[in-house]
Structure 1
Amino acid sequence: MDLTLAIFFLVYVAMGVGYLPGFRLHRTGAALVGAMLMIALGRISPPAAWGAIDYNVIGLLFGLMIVSSAFGIAGFYDWMARKVGAVKVGPKALLAIFIVVSGILSAVLTNDVVSAAMTAVLCQICLARRLNPVPFLLGFCFAANVGSAATLIGSPKSMIVAETLHVSFARFTAVTSPPSLLGLLLTWLVLVIIYRGKWGLPAASPKAAVDAAIAPAALDRAETIKAAIVVVAVIMAFVFTDWPRMLIALLGASFLLVSRRVDSDKVLGAVDGSLLVLLIGLFIVNAALGATGLPEKLVNWLSSAGLDLHDPVAVLVVMAVLCNIVGATPAVMLALPFLSGGERPEILGAAVALGASFSANALLFGSLAGIIVAEEGRRRGVSISFGEFTRAGALLAFLCLLLAAGWLHYLR
């Protein structure tokens, strides 16, 4: 057991820090190495390791990644970003548009893909309009995390929750969408208050950053329409049929990969394969720890201490804390095996998804969206420090979690 715990501990240190201290081994590599060590050292048998991988989650996520990537290859994200940036409104109204667009797209397409595809263009648009990019990029980032919790296809976290707890698309959305929508309003209010009087671009900003332009990608209308039809069909199948969601997502992905206009390698190249490998590794590492019996002992101890893991508010708080220690997706995978068996799984699932998504805004490295925003801004001379991100993000995360706690308490 000691060796299993040591490997598990080191893997989750890497999940929390972003890499294994002292080595150039980042999250995906750490999860993969941890899984291989568990198998090679006999901590889990090869058949058990294969059995631990939830192919429903992997297949669902892969299929939806293809769908999201198809929009990017068709130039839709770039076109949408420029349309938003061209609207002739004041800074507060423009911020509201950024937030609404980010929230909606992140609810129906994978939020990490949306953030990666649109952030650079939005940053360049703000600089060209002589606007301070920071509140707009933060609004886009925060809304991506908040909006992604509205549906089970908005983020890998929600997909894992829905598949593990067997929650339908309609029931999940009915519980998570109200606090997510109100969370978008809170996002706008928090940023308007914090950045009042700070909408203009500072005079000392580098001229090169302002003039930096990104060549616009041409919108392939035919491929965009094709992808939109597939998205609508996939969502309708999720809602109105009892087909396995993985098969629906893979069927939709198959239609998009078969094209006379777009090379399938381009679409596949836009898929985040590292995330899929990370999930596979964590499935195996977590299963090896589960085989020791330690997690059950820990749950029993927590129960005896008065923590009810079937209380959605308690689960929300646990997820908010855990996600800021080891990261959102690893925390979800770590906690879910102990949350099954409740009478209303959609409420427990909502507590996990809302806790993970809302708390992701508290810290700069709490989500991939936050990292993308910081890196894309840095490349264009826009500095978003850890302190500035947290000043707005921590307050927003607290208010959104408070909102979610009230909503979950009402539902139970």
Structure 2
Amino acid sequence: MWSVLLVFVATYILIAARRLAILPIGRSAGALAGACGMVVLSALIPGAGLTPDEAFAAIEPNTIGLLLGMMLLSASLDATGVFERAAAWVARRDLSPVRLLYVVTVGAGLASAVLLNDSVCVMLAPLVDRTARRAGLDRIPYLLALAMGANAGSALTLAGNPQNMLVGHLSGISYRDYLLEAGPAALIGLAVTAVALHLLLRRRIAARTAPPAIEPAWEPAPPDGRPSALVPLACLAVVSVLFVLGANLAWTAICGAAAAILLHRRDAGGLFARVSWPVLLFFGALFIVVAGLQKTGIPEQALRAMSPLLPSGPTLGVVGLSLALLVGCQIVSNVPFILLAESYIQSQPDPHLAWIATALISTLAGNFTLLGSVANIIVVEVVGAEREIGFRSYARVGVPVTLASCAAALLWLLLAR
């Protein structure tokens, strides 16, 4: 038991150390090393770790497949230059700094609900950075708006982020039911996020770092050689409709991506190169590491020991679960914490409501700290803002934004029930 716990802790240290720039081996490599450790442990100590067959069985194919399909759809849309054209359209409107903040926050949130928050941040971070610089504005508020808006908005659907995909599989809640029940609460969370960012960053938004750049209006790259955006947009629309109608999420996304590739009749090598394969490897390996720890029964024992300290009952139990999620997602990240807490969530008086709250709070909790969401790290790293957005400077904004948005979304969810 303790040997498995040691492998799990060592894996998490490797993952966190990459994000803290102590051991530069990467999140995916750290998770892969942990997965290998669980399998090697089973060979060295009978009954410990996972056998090779158990390790492969632990990987959740529906989550991996949905991630792959949505990444390919996002890549096919990005290849058409649609995001560049959207950014150029915003730049031509010469919005006030405050309006630009709301456009970035809400726009990133709505896009993430359809296209996956990590993919949206990869595609939009350079464009948001360029828009702010061209207007002579401090770029930090807008980068924070992109990351936090993408996180908050991704709570709208089960396809908005990896943890919601996992919740959809574990709970059996349909895409349509989740959208109807959690959608309004997620929209409120997104709105509160935008307002809170405005209030907290109003001084930085008002101050200009430089005069607006005097240059020709920003236009996107010429469309020569680029495929039409109509094909991926149509495929994405069909996929979204099928999601609502109850089709299998993973295969619907994969088939939608395949249709977009076939209809373009082009070499798909460039699209596959845009897929974040390390992220897929990371989640696959993480499933194995968490399954090894779950086999020991330690997570269940820990949650049982902690449950008397949390409120109980149909309503207060959800509040207690939300507090546990808010803290636990900062310690071991949202996806592994949901995997570890599955039995505790299922044991709630109203498991359906508990799963809805899990998806909402675990997503909004990603804004709490810089390490709370992969999307945060992506935005910082893509535009090279590591020195300007540190752990403490992010937390000064992220903590109040998260507490306000979680409270508002949870209150609406409970009142609606």
Same fold (TM over 0.5): yes
Q: Which residue of 1 aligns with 2:249?
A: 245
Q: Deviations over 1:98-146 (max 9, x none)?
A: 2221111011111111111111111111111112222222222211110
Q: Give the partner amino acid of 2:11.
A: V
Percent identical among aligned pairs is 29
Q: Distance in 2 between matches of 1:80 and 1:2?
A: 53
Residue 39 (structure 2) pairs with residue 39 (structure 1): yes
Q: Which of 59, 64, 67 is 2:70 aligned to?
A: 64
How far residue 160 of structure 1 moved from its aligned partner, in angstroms, is 0.9
CA contact (8 A) 1:169 1:238 kept: yes
Identify the residue that residue 331 of structure 1 maps to in structure 2: 337
Superposed, which structure 2 residues align to 1:129-140 within 5 Å? Answer: 129-140=135-146
Q: What code does the residue aligned with 1:9 have?
A: V
Name which of structure 1's ranges 12-21 and 262-271 shifts more when overlaid on structure 2: 12-21
Greater mean deviation of Cα atoms: 131-140 or 54-63: 131-140
Look up the SS of the partner of 2:150 in the other structure: helix
The CA distance in 1 between the partners of 2:334 and 2:321, in whole Å, is 14
Letter of the 1:225 counterpart: L
- 8 Å contact kept, 2:117–2:150: yes
CA distance in 1, matches of 2:80, 2:352: 35
Secondary structure of the corresponding residue to residue 384 of structure 1? coil
C-alpha distance in 2 between matches for 1:382 and 1:34? 30
Query: Cα–Cα, structure 1 residues 372 and 306, in superposed 2: closer, same or farther, change >3 Å?
Result: closer
Within 5 A, what are the aligned runs for 1:54-203? Answer: 54-199=60-205, 202-203=208-209
Deviations 1:341-395 (A, max 9, x none): 667544222211222221211212222222233234436x993343332222211
Please state whether the residue corresponding to 2:129 is helix, strand or coil.
helix
AA partner of residue 383 (structure 1): E
Quote how far apart the aligned CAs of 1:153 are: 0.8
**Secondary structure of the corresponding residue to residue 44 of structure 1:** coil
Q: Residues 332, 84 of structure 1: CA spacing in aligned structure 2 closer, same or farther, 3 A cutoff?
A: farther
Matched-pair contact (CA < 8 Å) for 2:135–2:211: no
Question: Secondary structure at 1:148's aligned position in 2?
Answer: helix
Which 5+ residue runs of structure 1 have no aligned equivalent?
none
Aligned to 2:412: 407
After superposition, the Cα gap between the structure-2 partners of 1:172 and 1:146, relative to the gap in structure 1 and judged at 3 Å, is: same
The answer to whether the 8 A contact 2:299-2:341 is kept is no
Distance across 1 between alignment mates of 2:387 and 2:234: 37
Extract unaligned runs of 5+ from structure 2: 43-48
Cα RMSD after superposing both structures: 2.9
Q: State whether residues 175 and 347 of structure 1, in contact with CA within 8 Å, keep that contact through their aligned partners in structure 2.
A: no
Which one of 295, 300, 305 corresponds to residue 296 of structure 1? 300
Structure 2 equivalent of residue 24 of structure 1? 24
Greater CA drift, 342-351 or 6-15: 342-351
Is the 1:124–1:210 Cα contact (8 Å) retained in structure 2? Answer: no
Q: From the superposition, tell whether residues 199 and 345 of structure 1 become closer, same or farther in structure 2 (CA, over 3 Å).
A: same
Cα 1:84/1:343, change in 2 over 3 Å: farther
Contact 2:88-2:218 within 8 A present in 1 as well:
no
Give 1:28 deviation, angstroms: 1.2
Following the alignment from structure 1 to structure 2, what is the Cα–Cα distance between the partners of residues 60 and 264?
19
Q: Give the structure-1-normalised TM-score.
A: 0.89
Equivalent residue for 2:279, pick from 275, 296, 299? 275
Question: Please, which moves more after superposition, 57-66 or 12-21?
Answer: 12-21
Q: Give, in angstroms, the shift of residue 22 of structure 1.
A: 6.3
Equivalent position SS for 1:347: helix
Say if 1:286 and 1:368 are closer, same or farther in 2 by CA, change over 3 A. closer
What are the residue-to-residue correspondences of 1:253-268 with 2, within 5 Å? 253-268=257-272
Deviation at 1:183, TM superposition (A): 2.2
Partners in 1 of 2:320 and 2:219 — Cα distance? 48
SS in 2 for 1:81: helix
Within a 5 Å distance, the mapping from 1:330-409 to structure 2 comes to 330-340=336-346, 344-378=350-384, 383-409=388-414
